[in-house]
Amino acid sequence: MASVDDLQRDYRAAFLRYLPRGEEAPLHMGYEIGRSAVVDGLSILDVVQVHHDVLLEVLRDTPRDDLPRVTSSASEFLGEVLATFDMTQRGFLAEG
C-alpha cells in the first residue's frame, strides 16, 4: 500500500512536468496517480491535501503574471487525478 508521502512525491513530479506545457503525458501520469490512490486505499481527502500542499509550493515561486495560468493548470491536473475517484463513486452508486 502506498503512503501519502509516496503520493506527494509522485504528484509533485507529475504536476511539475505538466505545468510548463500542459502536455498529455504528465496529465496521463496524473490519471494513473489517482487510479493508484484508489487501489491503495487512499482517500480523496488525502489527494486534495497533497494537491493543496504541492500547489502552495509552486505558487511561492510563481511570478504574479503567471498565476492565472498556473492555477488553471492546477485545476485541470487535479480534475484528471480525481477522475478515478469519480468513476469509482458512480460505479458504486449504480450498483446500489
- What pLDDT band is residue 84 in, cutting at 50, 70 and 90? confident
94 or 14: which carries more pLDDT confidence?
14
Could you give the CA distance from residue 73 to residue 51 in angstroms, rounded to a whole number? 12
pTM over cut 0.95: no
Give the total number of structural domains in the chain. Answer: 1
- 14: containing domain: 4-95
- What pLDDT band is residue 1 in, cutting at 50, 70 and 90? low
User: How many helices (H) and strands (E) would you count in the chain?
Assistant: 4, 0
Could you give the CA distance from residue 9 to residue 35 in angstroms, rounded to a whole number? 15
- Burial class (CB within 10 angstroms; exposed 0-12, middle 13-18, buried 19+) of 25: exposed
